[in-house]
């Protein structure tokens, strides 16, 4: 079985088209022009090219929809529907020739994510989800893991950046979680893929501070449709507002909330 609604078909085709540029540029990484956007936050020519393809194609397919993208910000149209896109989630990995990054596209209807994809072009892994219809990886249904003991789980996180104001808090949380798990914590450099991997049962949990909406939008629907849990560190739904997100297989969410808040 596979998801084949009109919106899913649109974003899958658009992601694959944009990925051709990404794959080509990844093969010539040393030739890329790089501009400094901010401390520890680089934007490449590839990032801008991929974003342009995504926006142009989405506007052709759904001219009335609004768009929120990492590089250009908001394009306001229909307030009911909005695309949330991240051209390259894992830019630092891309820049360093590490094959672990993704294109992320989510569709919001009345402020709720109703479908989305996270596409890893190097591994050719297409994670797809739609509200009420489940989550899939390359057309195969995926579910979160069934591990219930935090000590046996593999968890992943990211950050902090050099200029983060809450760096010590992040380190403290990392230390607390690491004291509860037998498997060392992973840090892979792509929040979108971290969430996709939780949805696929590869990771059991993910937590991070200071993420933007485009980093997590598609991942939210992927995890929920795979049977997982998405909330802020308190277990509430304020993860966009307070920029703390906890993603788990549902069985360890209470344990992780307790550790993070004690």
Q: Which domains, from first to last, does the chain contain?
A: 6-141 (3.30.540.10), 150-260 (3.40.190.80)
> What is the spatial distance between Cα 67 and Cα 197, in angstroms, rounded to a whole number?
26
pLDDT the model gives residue 36? 63
Across the range 54-67, mean pLDDT stands at 96
**134 CB neighbour count, 10 Å cutoff:** 17
Asked whether the beta carbons of 18 and 103 are under 8 A apart, the reply is yes
Query: Smallest Cα–Cα separation from 38: which of 75, 68, 71, 67?
Result: 71
Neighbours of 141 (CB within 10 A): 13
- Sequence-distant (≥ 6) Cβ neighbours of residue 55 within 8 angstroms: 67, 69, 72, 75, 85
Question: What percent of the chain lies above the pLDDT cut of 70?
Answer: 94
**Closest C-alpha to 70, from 124, 98, 100, 106:** 106
Grouping H, G, I as helix, E, B as strand and the rest as coil, residue 74 is strand
Q: What is the pLDDT of residue 38?
A: 57
The verdict on whether omega for the bond into residue 250 sits within 30 degrees of 0, i.e. cis, is no
Check pLDDT > 60 for residue 1.
no
- Region 32-43 average pLDDT: 62
d(Cα 65, Cα 59) in Å, to the nearest integer? 7
Stronger pLDDT, 36 or 231, i.e. the higher one: 231
Band of residue 164 on the pLDDT scale cut at 50, 70, 90: confident
45, two tokens: 């020519």
Print burial letters for 12-46: b (CB count within 10 Å at least 16), e (below 16).
Answer: bebbeebbebbeebbeeeeeeeeeeeeeeeebbeb
Q: What is the mean pLDDT of the chain?
A: 93
> Is the separation of the CB atoms in 204 and 229 below 8 Å?
no
State how far the alpha carbon of 131 is from the alpha carbons of 7, 8, 62, 76, 235, in Å: 12, 11, 19, 24, 21
Mean pLDDT score, 108-137: 97
What is the model's pTM? 0.94
Percent of the chain with pLDDT over 90: 81
Digit-coded pLDDT (tens) for 127-144: 999 999 999 999 999 999
Task: Inform me whether the pLDDT recorded for 106 exceeds 90.
Answer: yes
Across residues 93-97, what is the average pLDDT?
A: 90
pLDDT value at residue 30 = 67
Instruction: Write out the E strands in 180-220.
Output: 205-209
> Checking DSSP bridges between strand 229-231 and strand 140-141, what pairing results, if any?
unpaired
């Amino acid at each position: 079985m596979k998801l084949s609604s009109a919106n899913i078909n649109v974003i899958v085709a658009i992601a694959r088209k944009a990925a051709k540029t990404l794959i080509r540029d990844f093969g010539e990484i040393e030739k890329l022009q790089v501009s400094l956007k901010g401390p520890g936050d680089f934007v490449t020519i590839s990032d801008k090219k991929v974003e342009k393809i995504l926006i142009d194609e989405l506007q052709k397919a759904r001219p009335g929809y609004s768009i929120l993208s990492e590089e250009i910000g908001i394009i306001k149209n229909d307030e009911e529907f909005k695309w949330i896109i991240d051209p390259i989630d894992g830019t630092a990995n891309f820049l360093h020739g590490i094959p672990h990054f993704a294109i992320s596209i989510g569709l919001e209807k009345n402020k709720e994510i109703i479908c989305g994809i996270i596409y890893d072009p190097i591994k050719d892994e297409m994670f797809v989800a739609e509200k009420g219809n489940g989550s899939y990886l390359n057309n195969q249904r995926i579910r979160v893991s069934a591990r219930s003991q935090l000590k046996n789980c593999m968890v992943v996180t990211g950050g902090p950046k050099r200029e983060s104001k809450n760096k010590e808090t992040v380190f403290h949380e990392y230390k607390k979680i690491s004291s509860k798990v037998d498997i060392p914590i992973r840090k892979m450099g792509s929040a979108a893929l971290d969430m996709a991997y939780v949805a696929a049962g590869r990771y059991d949990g993910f937590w991070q501070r200071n993420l933007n909406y485009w980093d997590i939008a598609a991942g939210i629907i992927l995890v929920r449709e795979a049977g997982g849990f998405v909330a802020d560190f308190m277990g509430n739904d304020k993860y966009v507002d307070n920029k703390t997100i906890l993603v788990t297989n549902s069985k360890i969410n209470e344990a992780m909330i307790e550790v993070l808040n004690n």
